Structure 1
Amino acid sequence: MLLRDHGLRCTAPRLAVLTALDRARKDGHLTVAQIQQVLTEAGHDVDLTTVYRTVSTLTDANVLHALVIDERVTSYGLTDMPHHHAVCTRCGAIDEVPSAHLAEALAEARAGSRFALPDTAGLTLHGLCPACQHDR
């Protein structure tokens, strides 16, 4: 249903990528290589090119969003629930922060900026994840 709502056909690779990202949601976003690894471990025979193409199509259709942490790493997450991101500056772990938790911060950013920032504007917070806090 999600794919059809975005004008896309329902294909096995698309369903597999969406399932992998949905199952990994509690652990944050996944890179293309991580998506392929999850799919391989689940018994899917999907090559890296297919994963790249699928992720690109789903991102273009706004089913997924791309989060670029630095010029070398892009990770992907589902767009079904509005959220922002907290990124660990040490290990790169990513947590999704529900948009309701940062609504006031977004309103302040909107008020203090010359930009028109929609409610879907993405905020990225940088800090230390629980594991890296513990390792200090």
Structure 2
Amino acid sequence: MTTKPSALDPAVTERIGAFLRAHGLRRMASRIAVLAVLEPVNGHLSVAEISQRLRECLPAGTPPPDLATIYRTVTTLVEQGVLHALTLENGVTTYGLATDPHHHAVCTRCGSIIEVPAQQLTSALEHAMAGSSFSLSERAGLTLHGLCPQCQAEGQEPRIQPRQR
């Protein structure tokens, strides 16, 4: 039986600490822990999911950061451009690494989030903006709604959720 390496092993901690310093941020245990959990996800997690994964990866007897600390940490990391936030239609905010520019595709059935590289939608955005006086910021993003590959394979119909006004 092989054991999964901890997300907080010394090599990961050192690498993420160097990443934080390169972004002009102090190397704090809560920041390192949150980034160590989000890094392998290649997607988004809510604060509750981050907290759960931290509890699972911390060594036995090590108390995880409380929810307030995780909220403060993700807020700071969003403000500093390290993470970005995506608020879903159900009001839950999820957080992902602010790596290459991208948009999001959200499954209306299971709620999974797939990141779509920005260059795949560049011409569509340019076409949509042509002739209007509206200008998109560099951080603008689209959220597309549909079925993820797994739900498509299961033959499930999209669940249309009513828009709230």
Aligned to 2:6: none
Alpha-carbon RMSD across the aligned residues, in angstroms, is 1.7
1:76 CA displacement: 0.5
1:117 CA displacement: 1.1
Aligned to 1:29: 44
Aligned to 2:13: none
Moved runs in structure 1, 4+ residues, more than 3 A? none
**2:24 matched to 1:15?**
no
Q: How does 1:1-136 map to 2 (within 5 A)?
A: 1-25=18-42, 28-43=43-58, 45-70=64-89, 72-111=91-130, 113-135=132-154, 136=156
More strand by share: 1
1:112 CA displacement: 5.2
**What runs of 5+ residues in structure 2 fail to find an aligned partner?**
1-17, 157-165
Task: Determine which structure has more spread, i.e. the larger CA radius of gyration.
Answer: 2
Hey, what's the Cα distance between the residues in 1 that align with 2:134 and 2:101?
20
Look up the equivalent residue of 2:35 and give its one-letter code: L
1:17 CA displacement: 0.7
Distance 1:112 1:122, change over 3 A: farther
TM-score by length of 1: 0.89
**What runs of 5+ residues in structure 1 fail to find an aligned partner?**
none
Aligned to 2:7: none
Hey, what's the Cα distance between the residues in 2 that align with 1:32 and 1:6?
22
Larger RCO (alpha carbons 8 Å, 6+ apart): 1
Hey, what's the Cα distance between the residues in 2 that align with 1:126 and 1:112?
26
More helix by share: 1
